Amino acid sequence: MNTTAPCTDRVAVRGTPARGRTGIRGFLPGLLLILAAGVLALPVPARGDDDINAGCDSLYSSRAGNHTAWDFFSHPCPPEPDENTPVVLPGVGVTFKGIWGVPTLSNPLGFPVSQYNPILNNQVANGYGGGLEITGWLSPNLALRFQFGLLNFPGQPGFSTFQVMPVTLGAEVRLLGTRSVFLYVAGDGGIAINGQNTANIFTGTAGSPYVQAGIGLNVYFLELEADYAAVASPLGGLSHTNPFFFLPLSIGIHL
């Protein structure tokens, strides 16, 4: 009796094609790896002394034929600048500013305020004025700036006009954008000469610590800025007047 031979033959017939398909699947990845290694192993022409001294040999070089795809990953660099493109270096800018001042009772910086002392914010209307700003760029994203301004806050009925002349030094940081259009933040501190105008005679004229901080937008030759400002001791320390808070909103024109 022969009962096992046919079963063995059927297993052999089914098993042979299975091994063939496995071999093809294993061969294709190996072939791809060999081709990739061959591309990366292509010789790159030697570079001269000028190329070495340049420090960065870009894939985007105008000298065609000196690079392989591997150069982009092993030596990534920006495109070479055009010889006719001027190099822009940090410099100094001058800006004339028109300022609109809005008094506010907000005190986010936590200045001491007493309910028994006068509050000038309730005695004056929205102010107006102007100023000069000189900005010196230390790097593409950081600048120091000097500001000088004069603001006039007309008095409410029955109260005197209040004037502020801040002189500050601060910093400006570019957050994002291009050289001509960018968003920035700034902070300034200094002294504010201030006083009340009573019958064309200034009273309570004094110097006070002054701080401001804000955000701005530069659009070519225009500068738009919104700040929060505080005059710590308006009318002088002996007047026992609460700090004067206001929002300077300015539009500047670069010269």
Domain CATH number, residue 102: 2.40.160.20
Instruction: List, for the chain, all residue ranges whose pLDDT scores fall below the cut of 50.
Output: 1-24, 39-40, 44-55, 57-65, 67, 69-76, 78-79, 87, 89
Same domain, 204 and 132: yes
Same domain, 114 and 16: no
Would you say residue 83 lies in a domain? Answer: no
Q: Which of 169, 188, 249, 190 is nearest to 217 (CA)?
A: 249
* CB burial string 84-113: b at 16+ within 10 A, e below: eeeeeeeeebebebebebebeeeeeeebee
Helices (H), the chain: 5-40, 49-54, 69-74
pLDDT of residue 112: 84
* pTM of model > 0.85: no
Same domain, 9 and 125: no
Same domain, 236 and 192: yes
Question: Which pLDDT tens digit goes with each residue over 4-17?
Answer: 444 444 444 444 44
Would you say residue 86 lies in a domain? Answer: no
Give the domain range for residue 134.
Answer: 92-254
Would you say residue 82 lies in a domain? Answer: no
Question: Which pLDDT tens digit goes with each residue over 184-199?
Answer: 999 999 999 998 875 5
Q: Which of 144, 158, 128 is nearest to 251 (CA)?
A: 128
- Which of 74, 108, 127 is the last residue before a domain boundary? 74
Angle at 101 between CA 99 and CA 106, to 5 degrees: 140
Would you say residue 236 lies in a domain? Answer: yes
Same domain, 237 and 125: yes
Same domain, 117 and 216: yes
pLDDT of residue 251: 96
Cα(190)–Cα(59) distance, integer angstroms: 51
The tokens for 71 are 């150069």
Would you say residue 85 lies in a domain? Answer: no
Same domain, 157 and 233: yes
Number of domains in the chain: 2
